[in-house]
Chain A
Amino acid sequence: MATTVNAANSSVRPHHTLWGDAWVRLRRNKLAMAGGIFIILLTLAAIFAPLITPYGFAHQDLTAILQNPSSKHWLGTDGLGRDVFARLLYGARTSLAVGIFTQVIVLGIGLPIGAIAGYAGGRVDNILMRFVDVMYSFPDILLIILIKAILGGGIYQLFFAIGLVAWVDIARLVRGQMMSVKSRDFVAAARAMGGMGPYITERHLLPNSLGPIIVSVTFNVPRAIFTEAALSFIGIGVRPPTPSWGSMISDGYAVIFASWYQVFFPALAIALLMIAFTFLGDGLRDALDPKLRH
């Protein structure tokens, strides 16, 4: 709208898209960029783990058990003589996979339910939101543990156990966004021109709610990663020998007095990844906030 007014005044203002603008502002935010770069580097390290470390994640050297960090084993070895650095890198694969795939499930369930509730309103909305209320009264972690116990097995089951519980926030958020965008003029205009429900939802409502959804996902990824670590710590996450930061903490926990490095490095890795996502999420929230646009 601002652009039209400016054009009429013939004072030419360079054209900014929402995304272009957001990117410019994100780039100026040092913490957000640091967080983003950390996540990208970790992802690359996880993908190219075999090129970075000569050790496999299950490779045991029984002559080198519980060693402190050295030039041979950068972060030492665990109780089974496995290289901790290698296990951290391969464990990052597990963490990142959990972070990403649970969000696919979360969006797959949360987006449609939130969109339907917000768009339809009335009784449909009421029923869906009451269901969401019930979900909120469940202690998350207990429900995840219970579902994981039913599904059993390894990492794929874990995606579902976490995803099936974590979609509630997104559903609520999308519903709220839908309801606020729905009453805006450009939606009324689209409807007046004959746009149908699904078309309007897809073309106008969803894109306009995208900012908060992206921010919410950025904060949900680390939560899923942490949940995986917690579940693997108590022994119902991924199955050994699949390396996971949570199960590394669990293994090292038993020998914490003999060699605290075992728990320190995976705990530090989780903490750093969480902080990186928070920095990035905060930065994205500021960058995508339309009220802060210049």
Chain B
Amino acid sequence: MTRFVIRRVLWLLLVLLVVSFITFALMHLVPGGPWSREKALAPAVVAALNARYGLDKPFFVQYGNFLMGILHGNLGISYTYQNRSVTQILMQGFPKTAILGTTAFVFAMIVGIALGMAAALRQNTWIDYVCVMFSTVFASVPGFVLGILLMIVFSVILHWFPTGGWGSPSQVVMPAIALAALPAAFIARITRASTLETMRQDYVRTARSKGLLERVVLIRHILRNSLIPVVTVAGPQFAALVTGSVIVETIFSIPGIGRLFVEAVFARDYGLIMGTVLFYSFVISIANLVVDILYGVIDPRIRYD
């Protein structure tokens, strides 16, 4: 187990290194630079700025400097937000993205598992049909479209929630629902399928025949086993929620990391682009790692060599 985790963490570091290199290369391929303006700056000014920030050095030297910076916990400077480091900017955006993503994730898990279980336990009744219909429809509507539709109904027509911004809990509700609907539907589908499968297993029949309370069978035997596939997708879903907020943050004017990235690409803010991509990749990789480790905790049949 320990060896497995160590190997995975080393692999994670390697992946992040490759991701950082690819991003660094792509970033420098984007036409223009951080000093491109509507009104061009004087060549001497650009040269001086480039020299000051080391942008006149060869590509690999720049990449090396960037890596050295990371080793010192320094993600570099932002070229648009003067006087603030990328780390500071990310730290300011991160809580918003994290709160939004986590709220949406918890919401998606609770609704998804509840709907999936309800549908499976009442298979072929109206409850089942409603749940299946819900999950089919919401599994296909992207968060950004749902966000717009929610905004029309609850902000423009009913005036229940503000259209965006950040600061009060009421501003989290709509973006969180918009983000959560798709994973909730997806989790409901998977929970339903796997619960139906588990209910037909021999050990469930055995548990019942030895006279266990239905509640105990349900929780200890059916629920626990049917959640294994759910955990498998939970990690990637969490990652998708956090990164999927790029567009939703833009719609609801939430100053999170997603919006920072979009602005950074427009401004060729190399430092900030690098920071956001690495940050997101880190979240995705960690989510996958946690899932791999959780497998063993939930399903004792899995052993790590």
Contacts and interface: CB of A to CB of B under 8 A. Distances in A.
Interface in A1-44: 31
Given A137-B281, A139-B284, A277 B30 contact: no
Contacts of A152: 31
B255 interface: no
Contact of B152 (A136, A138, A256): A256
Given A146-B27, A149-B30, A234 B262 contact: yes
Contacts of A230: 142, 144, 247
B1 interface: no
A-side interface size class: 35 or more
A109 B152 CA distance: 40
A137 B151 CA distance: 32
Interface string B269-294: 00001001100110011001000000
Contacts of A257: 156
Given A138-B281, A139-B284, A145 B261 contact: yes
Interface string A234-261: 1010000000000001000100110010
B29 A150 contact: yes
A94 to B, nearest CB: 16
B167 to A, nearest CB: 21
Contact of A134 (B18, B140, B250): B18
A256 B156 contact: yes
B152 A263 contact: yes
B265 interface: yes
Interface stretch (A51-59, A82-90, A191-199, A266-274): A266-274
Nearest to A256: B156
Contacts of B142: 226, 229-230, 270, 274
Interface of B: 15-16, 18-19, 22-23, 26-27, 29-31, 136-137, 139-142, 144-146, 148-149, 151-152, 155-157, 163, 239, 243-244, 246-247, 250-251, 261-262, 265, 273, 276-277, 280-281, 284-285, 288
Given A145-B262, A230-B247, A275-B137, 11 more contacts: A138-B281, A142-B246, A143-B277, A146-B27, A149-B265, A150-B30, A233-B247, A233-B251, A256-B151, A260-B157, A274-B140
Nearest 4 Cβ contacts at the A-B interface: A278-B140, A139-B280, A274-B140, A139-B243
Interface of A: 31, 133-134, 136-143, 145-147, 149-150, 152, 222, 226, 229-230, 233-234, 236, 249, 253, 256-257, 260, 263-264, 267-268, 270-271, 274-275, 277-279, 282
